Structure 1
Amino acid sequence: MRLKNFSLSFGSQIFKSVSDESRVRILHLLYRNGELTISDIEHILEFTQTKTSRHITYLKNSGMVSARKVDQWVFYSIREEVEELTNRIFDFLVKDASLQKDQETYEVLNSNRELAKSRLQNKNLLR
């Protein structure tokens, strides 16, 4: 779904959301990797739980991020309505060093997670 009406009120919320470096870093991780949990974001960005929750809440209230609950986990993602706008923002920031470092950290942690899952599965198969 595309954003059909970009009102002044909604626009100002969006621009306030991307005016903070921490929120831009969170948005970039969601943009590049789809859904993430608070603990994923905390670990990748080395933020405290309080700081991460505060920024995620701000992004949710601005209409940029949605939440989906599965059991005790809450998964955050960029709302479909603002994907086009988000794409444009990150087209300009594609070479930013800190955003690239965040993505590299995500990839290392994700590969370690996949390796751990594989080891557990192999261990369970051997029993």
Structure 2
Amino acid sequence: MKSAHDLVVEAKQTVQEISVDQAIQAIQTCDVLIDVRETEEYLAGHLPGAVHMSRGMLEFKMASNPAMQPRDLKIVLYCKTSGRAALSACSLAGMGYSHIQSISGGIDAWMAAGHEVFKPAQPTFE
């Protein structure tokens, strides 16, 4: 029986992972930057310009959004460390998307490299 780690290792063998440095250029030229983390993670801070589609809802959100229908969209994915993004990339490839990249190391590597993270203002109730 395969573990979650086994599935991620297999996914990373077929996914185009890019470094944080390569991600800067890829983000500038992609059609959509997708954060596949959970809602709480996204709200705590995300890459500027990223849209949120959690790993569990990704396929459904892609299928139901007409703007996401073209299978030649240039897609960049990320999560916390890159496991969920790799699994997401495999799933999207299975749906016929052909230009998918995953940021190696995820948002953790992005922040470790000193790059900007957008943190939405939290409401106050005072």
What TM bracket, shorter-length normalisation?
A: 0.3 to 0.5
TM-score (normalizing by structure 1): 0.34
- Bigger radius of gyration: 1
TM-score (normalizing by structure 2): 0.34
> Which structure ranks higher in relative contact order (CA pairs < 8 Å, sequence separation ≥ 6)?
2
Q: Which has the higher helix share?
A: 1
